[in-house]
Amino acid sequence: MRNASTILHLDMDAFYAQAEQASKPSLRGKAVIVGGLGPRGVVATASYEARVFGVHSAMPMAQARRLAPNAAYLVPRFTFYRTISDQVMGLLRALSPLVEPLSLDEAFVDLEAGGAAWDGESARLAGVRLRADIRAVTGLTGSVGLAASKMLAKIASEQAKPDGLVLIAPGTERALLGPMSVRTLPGVGPATGDHLRRAGITTVDELAEAGEDELVRLVGKAHGHGLYAMALARDDRPVVAEREAKSVSVEDTYDVDIHDRVRVELEVQRLAERCVRRLRGSGLSGRTIVLKVRRYDFSTLTRSETLRGPTDDPAVVREAARRLLDSVDTTGGVRLLGVGVSGLADFTQEDLFAQAAERGAPGEQEDIGEEEPPQERTGEEAAPAEHHWRPGHDVRHSELGHGWVQGSGLGRVTVRFETPDSPPGRVRTFRIGDPQLTPADPLPLVRRRPGEDGGAGDPSGAVPVVEHGNTR
């Protein structure tokens, strides 16, 4: 660990929901819930207004609707979120060449590497300026944690939420962590937390007091050593600028289990083609084709086939996925299907183009058990194609202009006509198939300068800033 709090962790506040509120004037200050809207959908993000009702991410959408029946329920628009994320990541890279994105809305930054900070005060000022710049450029808010390690910077940003900054000064880490729940530490999920609780360990202080040997006995060698180090606030992991993608994959969860084998095969072929589009869009190819099947009883089977070399040929991927499906029994029904490609490379091996016709010459095939491979999913791609008018998505009317779908059903679609910089707009209902109404691309958020009205931050630093042990 370093001697100054120069590792920064940024976490945008309720990112998807906040982006939707910024894009839709009629939703500002209201409860907004983004996620899958089908019977098996889950909450991706809930605005802070929705969290008052007890709604949180990963909650079943049916439960969220019971808790907050009057909230706005929207399907994600990941293309729009990526645009905002690119702007935010650009601001981070202006601070330092060492930026480690964790997701669209979260990243670590090594402030020392770019010369943006060399001690606690310069790091604090860099964090204040960053938050103001993010708000100025996107209109959104983010929370910043500053510490001498990645683990502590992430804990600090969680304490800073929403819309704040927390700095953990070197030397204060143990006192801060001690009374916290063991669940605060990375990698301690519900199962590990329950196991430790049964052993009488509920706080980080109690982890440290248990000792390394006892933790190894309780949770195993690798996890035990790691837990003990974290309990002592030890974390020497560097900020890594490039996190190499391990796989590209897509999957769909179906509202009703699929029992028809022909339909299952068609869905796998469609997923394979979508996966290849993403693969090519990233300029990649891959050697290992992966099929994921979650059955009616929630059992998840994963099958893979390794080719002779990397490919981005849709015919090759389709054929490999078909062969993998042959080894899976789907007679009881299928609730989720996924196709992925791993063993990524930035080139293709041309002789693989003939493999699509080689039905009798499969590559190495292995059953990789119940473990799920890393998934990369997008909302628009994951949504079933038949849901043309999805709540929250953009449309354009030839006379009324830009709007977004509030809902659809019974042959009708309801649209609110407004833009990010307009007042709350009026609502109109149309019949499905109205030729004047077409899908549209998201409109960009209005770019602002620091200090302007409309939500720009105060770059002077007059924002909530907490240094562990002191309030500024």
Return the pLDDT at 418: 96
Catalytic residue among 106, 251, 305, 418: 106
Q: What are phi and psi of 183, to 5 degrees?
A: -65, -15
Residue 161 per-residue DSSP state: -
Per residue in 145-154, pLDDT (tens digit) is 999 999 999 9
CB atoms within 10 A of CB 351: 10
pLDDT at position 221 is 82
The predicted model gives 188-216 an average pLDDT of: 89
Alpha-carbon gap, residue 108 to 86, rounded angstroms: 15
Rounded to two decimals, the pTM is: 0.72
**Do 13 and 131 contact (CB within 8 A), yes or no?**
no
All domains in the chain, ordered by first residue:
181-231 (1.10.150), 247-375 (3.30.1490.100)
Q: Give the model's pLDDT for residue 64.
A: 96
Q: Which H or E run includes 158?
A: helix 150-160
The pLDDT confidence band at residue 73, using thresholds 50, 70 and 90, is very high
| CB contact at 8 A, 332 and 297 | yes
Contact between 55 and 19 (Cβ < 8 Å): no
The amino acid at residue 387 is: H
In the residue annotation, 106 being an active-site residue is answered as: yes
**What does the pLDDT look like over 276-318, one tens digit per residue?**
998 888 788 898 999 999 998 888 899 999 888 888 888 999 9
Judge whether residue 435 has pLDDT over 80: yes
Whether 201 shows a pLDDT value over 60: the answer reads yes
User: In this predicted model, what pLDDT tens digit does every residue of 440-472 receive, in sequence order?
Assistant: 999 998 665 544 444 333 333 334 455 554 434
Partners of 409 in the β-ladder: 412
Transcribe 407-458 into DSSP letters: EEETTEEEEEE--TTSPSPEEEEEETT-TTEEE-PPPPPPP--TT-TTT---
- Span 33-50, pLDDT tens digits: 999 888 778 899 999 999
Q: Is the pLDDT of residue 219 over 90?
A: no
